Structure 1
């Protein structure tokens, strides 16, 4: 469902690109559009929740989220954070792997910039579910830096260098600000890219129905990304374990934050349980098995049968033996 919202006020300019990403996915992936707007809401509340324009916009955004949540009540990736995390994580990884493979093959273009930049924003959205792992933080910074770097090279008529540029250190070259967002030439990148983001010439669809010239690869079966060549930056992509994120509650008497059901990933298991083979499983092991099952379900959303089978096998092995690969 497309969101009919008032214009985003100038004070909330920082969330505009998350809103644009959400709008691009309204007809393609409602899970992505929903969580991008929720992230935009949470960020907007931290920036400006007192001005009239901001209040009006954020209330409208909150209303859309509540309506969408009710309409998608049977969609686990919207109602349950663990399923949502797996969905967003897999989607961001597909974009990241596509962009990285194209970049390393010296196939530069707006599609690659778009994929890197969107992956970076979706890694931001993952903070909704808890603190990011170091691997995800590095992938996020690399994706944003690469988007800015390739964009600048193409804009200046230069040929980008494929892959990481240095073996050690952080490859920023002044292209990222302290928050890790692209800022070449002030806001030039974001303004240029904001215009480009709405261009269907290189808009994205879900990976199982790729647009011409875009074919995102399936995530590796091990859920771990290892770059094919040295140097090794960006680091491996390892799914992280989210910690509960604190809800943002306004102090001005207006409830701008939608309510969300508390999801207990352990399914009420606190003292451990026993498998059929008599193996004693603690709560952490049960939670990990549940995550493998969630990742399997998410992989099936992308018709990625091999990854689904691998994750189900890992869940079964963990439940039967208590051992995790």
Structure 2
């Protein structure tokens, strides 16, 4: 029976990517060696890294615009610390928009290195909306936001306009829609949602914003060290980078961000339409701020939950239990999720 994987992460990957990656584990590039056995400095793997970096810039429309692409480790959680280390002067200030668990964790880490002003927060309504109409202090050295909130099912549609460097955690919606990515000075994203397996973190940074803090930065936390070493200051996560490269190529072959956005919009509309018209279900996020990656909803009559859960299990629907902070259900419909899987979930919802 086909499984429909709605897991929030590590999450679904394209079938063709998994098939290519499995072959590389046994025999990579006809070397009679596994991908995970060869040197990360070999010509074969260097080519993988370079292609992944080139595909990233191409898909984001940032080629020849002064950006560097890094594949690092430590997840987005380490970026919570690396961002202020690299962008905030000692005793400096940064502005943060608090829209969920991960942005609040980023704020906590930044406070270790300087002054943090939370310029807007949706915590008052359990992060069910995106704050709007806030001002940014002119003495902030950067502004940080989280584009999509995996747990609470909200997504920023319009990003703040600012003369200061704009930093965005895009861990759960990177490569999912068309944006003017040049508005961001630094983007970071854990791979395990839309790009690859857990183990590598994408960082795209505008070169000109670095080296201005006056800090002594530990080497492993210094973006410039990693840029100078071409993401190989230490041994990279070769498998995660390779699978990310395959996924980026898959996305380019589909037609890039414009094509995948159209598919993502269709999936989201199908599911949200059912939530809005079926009296047994209720969405938890403000309608204007709903995520097209993580759809959060409740079942109105909790006595029907057991029946719904049973039907989902029988249909091979996996990973839709909501996060404990929200409860209910969460259907993560990332890039690789086919429309037929969303339809399978909707068909079950109609039976309740």
Which is richer in helix? 1
Normalised to the residue count of structure 2, the TM-score between the two structures is 0.28
Normalised to the residue count of structure 1, the TM-score between the two structures is 0.29
Which is richer in strand? 2
Bigger relative CO (Cα 8 Å, ≥ 6 apart): 2
